[in-house]
């Protein structure tokens, strides 16, 4: 069943958005196109949590993803900056395809697949991590997360009084990293990531669209973060692109839903569509 609303006035507004989006998908199916559904995880399927390990799926969400994955007219891919191993543990849904590390890792049809050829520089990555650790040592509320080929620095819990000085130190470090040009930096919600050159969600999805079993399907993408914008750019003229949250922020996505609850409502309605038209 689709999720119930959390407040009548707000519910009526986002349910109207959901209904319009579902109608567009239904029209695509009536023309005979199969579907390809891309879903970001944090901030899209689940609410943002103070720490990544706290953002876990509910049993209802896992059941919903299972129903979508079992549809004959639909392929479902979760696309996240989280490592692939972490996503597999969070989402034990048979048949679910997963892109981890912003597309640097891929599990498709139950098999590991390399979609991109990143220019990995492990020595540079290690050096930048050591520099950042030393620079941010005076501050509290931040932590480093190792990732395949890179790392992330999270600062959601930095005290408000320390934040301006913290961000100044972080900006100075970022300036040096960008000037060297040997790794790439991605900005997210209270997080910065260092990744190998050539890795992005957009690059991975561009490759997926050409693979057997995915080619020719109508893409639907839902994401909430700046890191999803490369995918929005790739898919903007090809499918249904939906920005989650971030009202007032610039985006390449032509459609919006306000929060993960609205996303889950959309997915619930999608799961109820007839498989054959």
Higher pLDDT, 197 or 65: 65
The pLDDT of 194-200, averaged and rounded, is 89
1 falls within a domain: no
Q: Same structural domain for residues 113 and 187?
A: no
- Helix pair angle (260-272, 59-69), 10° resolution: 40
Q: Same structural domain for residues 102 and 76?
A: yes
18 falls within a domain: yes
CB-based contact 152:191 (threshold 8 Å): yes
**How distant, in Å, are the alpha carbons of 25, 102, 167, 169, 237 from that of 253?**
16, 18, 28, 32, 10
Query: Final residue of a domain: which of 150, 176, 195?
Result: 195
Nearest 10 degrees: Cα torsion 197, 201, 203, 208? 140
Residue 210 burial by Cβ neighbours in a 10 Å radius (0-12, 13-18, 19+): exposed
The pLDDT of 141-168, averaged and rounded, is 94
Closest listed residue to residue 150, CA positions, set 166, 126, 171, 172: 126
How much is the mean pLDDT over the chain? 91
Q: Same structural domain for residues 217 and 150?
A: no
**How distant, in Å, are the alpha carbons of 15, 63, 77 from that of 205?**
29, 25, 10
Structural domains counted in the chain: 2
Residue 65 burial by Cβ neighbours in a 10 Å radius (0-12, 13-18, 19+): buried
Residue found by looking up tokens 């199969």 in the block? 34
pLDDT of residue 189: 83
The pLDDT of 40-44, averaged and rounded, is 96
SS3 (DSSP) at 83: coil
Q: Same structural domain for residues 191 and 266?
A: no
Q: Same structural domain for residues 54 and 30?
A: yes
277 falls within a domain: no
pLDDT at 43 over 70: yes
pLDDT of residue 1: 44
CB-based contact 173:131 (threshold 8 Å): yes
Which pair of tokens denotes residue 244? 């989650």
Buried/exposed code over 241-264 (b: 16+ C-beta within 10 A; e: otherwise): bbbbbbeeeebebebbbbbbbbbb
pLDDT at 148 over 90: no
Query: What's the pLDDT tens digit per position in 49-64?
Result: 888 889 999 999 999 9
Query: Final residue of a domain: which of 195, 224, 259?
Result: 195
pLDDT of residue 3: 45
pLDDT at 139 over 90: yes
pLDDT of residue 2: 47
Q: Same structural domain for residues 60 and 181?
A: no
Nearest 10 degrees: Cα torsion 136, 139, 140, 146? 0
Which pair of tokens denotes residue 48? 């943002």
3 falls within a domain: no
Residue-number span of the structural domain to which 95 is assigned: 8-117+199-272
Higher pLDDT, 89 or 9: 89
How far is it, in rounded angstroms, from Cα 73 to Cα 150?
36
253 falls within a domain: yes
Q: At 256, is the pLDDT very low, low, confident or very high (cuts 50, 70, 90)?
A: very high
Q: Same structural domain for residues 164 and 250?
A: no
Q: If you write DSSP's letter for every residue of 234-275 in order, what string do you get? A: HHTTTSEEEEES-TT---S-SEEESSHHHHHHHHHHHHHS-S
pLDDT of residue 12: 62
Query: What's the pLDDT tens digit per position in 70-121?
Result: 999 999 999 999 999 999 999 999 999 999 999 999 999 999 998 877 666 7
Q: At 11, is the pLDDT very low, low, confident or very high (cuts 50, 70, 90)?
A: low
Its pTM stands at 0.88
**How distant, in Å, are the alpha carbons of 128, 203, 204, 240 from that of 210?**
35, 12, 10, 18
How far is it, in rounded angstroms, from Cα 133 to Cα 142?
10
């Amino acid at each position: 069943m689709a999720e119930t609303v959390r407040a009548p006035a707000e519910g009526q507004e986002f349910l109207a958005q959901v209904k319009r989006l579902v109608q567009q998908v239904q029209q695509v199916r009536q023309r005979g196109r199969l579907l390809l559904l891309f879903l970001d995880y944090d901030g899209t399927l689940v609410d943002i949590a103070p720490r990544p390990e706290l953002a876990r799926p509910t049993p209802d969400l896992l059941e919903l993803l299972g129903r979508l994955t079992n549809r004959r007219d639909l392929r479902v891919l979760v696309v996240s900056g989280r490592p692939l191993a972490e996503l597999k543990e969070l989402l034990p849904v048979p048949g679910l395809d997963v892109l981890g590390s912003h597309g640097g890792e891929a599990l498709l049809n139950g098999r590991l697949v390399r979609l991109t050829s990143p220019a990995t520089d492990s020595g540079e990555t290690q050096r930048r991590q050591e520099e950042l650790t030393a620079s941010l040592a005076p501050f509290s509320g931040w932590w480093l997360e190792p990732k395949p080929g890179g790392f992330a620095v999270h600062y959601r819990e930095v005290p408000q009084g320390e934040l301006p000085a913290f961000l100044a130190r972080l900006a100075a470090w970022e300036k040096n990293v960008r000037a060297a040009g040997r790794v790439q930096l991605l900005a997210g919600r209270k997080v910065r990531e260092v990744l190998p050159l050539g890795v992005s969600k957009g690059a991975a999805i561009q490759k997926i669209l050409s693979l057997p079993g995915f080619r020719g399907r109508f893409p639907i993408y839902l994401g909430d973060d700046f890191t999803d914008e490369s995918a929005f750019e790739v898919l903007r003229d090809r499918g249904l692109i939906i920005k989650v949250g971030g009202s007032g922020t610039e985006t390449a996505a032509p459609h919006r839903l306000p929060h993960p609850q609205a996303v889950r409502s959309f997915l619930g309605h999608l799961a109820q569509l007839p498989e054959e038209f």
